[in-house]
Amino acid sequence: MSLLSPLVPLLRVYYAGLAVILHQLRRRLRSRCPPTPVFPTQNGKVAIVTGGAKGIGYHTVKHLARLGMHVIIAGNSEREGQEAVRKIKEETLTGKVEFLYCDLASMKSIRQFVQQFRAKNCPLHVLVNNAGVMLVPERQTEDGFEEHFGLNYLGHFLLTNLLLDTLKQSGTHSHSARIVTVSSATHYVGKLHLDDLQSRCSYSPHGAYAQSKLALVLFTYRLQHLLTANGSHVTANVVDPGVVNTELYKHVFWVVKVVKWMTAWLFFKTPEEGASTTIYAAVSPEMEGVGGCYLYNEKRTKSADIAYDEELQRRLWTESCKMVGISDESSRAP
C-alpha cells in the first residue's frame, strides 16, 4: 500500500472545497460586488443579528444601526460582543446597539436568550441568522449534535421558531418582518443524510459544513411556505455572501490557507462587501413582501435543485422539531 493512500480521502475533501472556492472566485471576477446602495432609514425598528461581533455580522450590525435600527448582537463571547458594541457606537454615533449572550451550540442558552429578549417587551422586525462555524474538527455541541449541524443549522432553527410569534406580531401588511439566513455556495455540493444528520457514520469537515448550509436553504423555503399558508406578514430569505475574507477559514487545510493568503486581496470580498446582500435582504424596499428567495450579489438566483424538494423540506423540518424539542406546527399546514 502506498504511503499516500491514507491521505487520499482527506485530499478529496479539500479538493472539493477548493473547487467551490474557485467557482466563487470566477463568479467574483465576472460580477464585482457593487457598492451598497442607500436604503431608507429604519428608525423605530429592532433587529437581532447572530454572530454580530465579527466579520460579516459586524458590518451588518453597523449598517443597520446607521439606518436607525435598534440592533441586538447575539453572540457567545461577552468580551467580543461588548467591544463590538463600543466600536459601532463610536463609528455610527448611535446608542441603539447592545449585546446579549447566546451560544447557538446550546439549546438552553438559546432559550435563555429568547427569554431575555422577550423581557424587553420590544418588537422584532428583522432576524439575521448569520453566525456559523466552518470545517471544524469532529466534535459535538453540549446537546450531543455534530457542531456544524448543531450550531449552523439547529441553533438557528430553534432561535427562529422561538421568535416567530414576536416577528408575526411586529410585521404589518405594508412592512413585513424579515428573516434573513446566511448560507453559502457550498450548499450546492451538500448532501442531506436524513438517516445520519450527525455525520456519525463517516465524518468529513467539508461534508458536514455543506450539509448544514444546505439544511439552512431547505429550512428557509419550508419556513416561507408555512408563513404564506398562515397569512403571516413575515418573509424568509436566504443569502449567499460569496467568498469573504473572514476568520471562518482558520480551520481549512494549509494549502487553502496559502491560496487565500496569496489571493484574498484580489478575489475575496471584504467582510463589509460580504454583508451587502444580507443588508439588502433586511431593508431593501425591493424585497418588501418577497420571500423564499436565494440571493447572491443582491440578486435572486437559483439554489441547488435538491433544495426545492418539498418532501425533503418537510422531512427535515419534522426531524428538526424532534431534535430541538418543539412541536411541529407544520403538520397542520398543506
Report how far apart, in Å, the C-alpha atoms of 203 and of each of 71, 225, 305 are: 37, 32, 24
Residue 188 falls in the annotated catalytic set: no
Cβ neighbors of 1 (< 8 A, separation 6 or more) are: none
Distance, CA of 250 to CA of 12 (rounded, Å): 19
DSSP 165-213: HHHHHH--SSS-EEEEEE--GGGGG----TT-TT--SS--HHHHHHHHH
State the chain's maximal CA–CA distance in angstroms: 67
Helical H segments across the chain, by residue range: 8-30, 55-66, 78-92, 107-119, 147, 156-170, 205-229, 254-267, 271-274, 276-283, 310-324
Q: Which of 188, 209, 249, 294 is catalytic?
A: 209
Locate 210 and state its grid cell: 455543506
Distance, CA of 243 to CA of 24 (rounded, Å): 6
Catalytic amino acids? Answer: 209
